[in-house]
Structure 1
Amino acid sequence: MLILENIISDRGSKYAVSGGPCSTEQEAKSFIKALCQKKKFAKATHNSWALLTAETPIKHDDGEAGAGMVILRMLEREGLRDHVVVVTRWFGGKHLGGDRFRHVQDAVRIYLDHLRDS
């Protein structure tokens, strides 16, 4: 499990991105459960995620409408299969509007760049 914390901050909201090898929806849910064992992540407002498998794309917004699709599209463009990516947001009290999608994209891009550089 790779976790990159405090990667984006905007109007009080803070973002992290994490991910790891995963090939089924059940494994993705287990990944989220393991992530949320860390108290900080359990208290997050949203843990949006996506997974691209050989069988089907899977996404979950966790209340951040559209975030799962943003992650999924980026995984498709990258061709990254059997790897779950989770974007975590702690709401800072001010609505971000459309900027929240840019932050989700930026978080996934940071994660993918980190994978390439490792």
Structure 2
Amino acid sequence: MRILENIISDRGSKYAVSGGPCQSEDDARVFLKNLTRIKKFAKATHNTWGLITDAGPIKNDDGESGAGMVILRMLEREALHNHIIVVTRWYGGKHLGGDRFRHVQEAVRIYLADLQG
């Protein structure tokens, strides 16, 4: 499990991104369970994720409507299969509007750049 914390901050909201090898929706549930064993991530407002398996794409917005699709599109562009990416947000009290999608994209970009070394 690769975790990059405190990567984006905007109007009080803070973001982290994490990911790792993942073959199925069951694996994704295990990944999320392990991630939320870290108290900070258990208290997050949203743990949004996307994953492309051999069986097809899977996503979960976790209340951040549309964010899972943003992650899936980026995974498709990179042709990254069987690897989950989770974008975590701690809500800071102010609505971000469309900027939240820009932040999800940037979080995934940061993760992919780190993954490629």
Same fold (TM over 0.5): yes
Counterpart position of 1:71: 71
> 1:47-95 CA deviation, whole Å, 9 max, x = no partner?
0000001111000000000000000000000000000000000000000
Query: What TM-score do you get using the length of structure 2 for normalisation?
Result: 0.99
Give the percent of matched residue pairs that are identical in Structure 1 and Structure 2: 74
CA distance, structure 2, for counterparts of residue 106 and residue 72 of structure 1 = 14
Query: What TM-score do you get using the length of structure 1 for normalisation?
Result: 0.99
CA distance, structure 2, for counterparts of residue 52 and residue 103 of structure 1 = 21
Query: Please, what is the CA RMSD of the aligned residues?
Result: 0.3
CA distance, structure 1, for counterparts of residue 79 and residue 18 of structure 2 = 17
The gaps in structure 2 that reach 5 residues or longer are: none
Counterpart position of 1:109: 109
Q: What is the aligned length? A: 117
Local SS of the residue matching 1:101: helix
Moved over 6 A (4+): none
> 1:19-74 CA deviation, whole Å, 9 max, x = no partner?
00000000001100000000000000000000001111000000000000000000
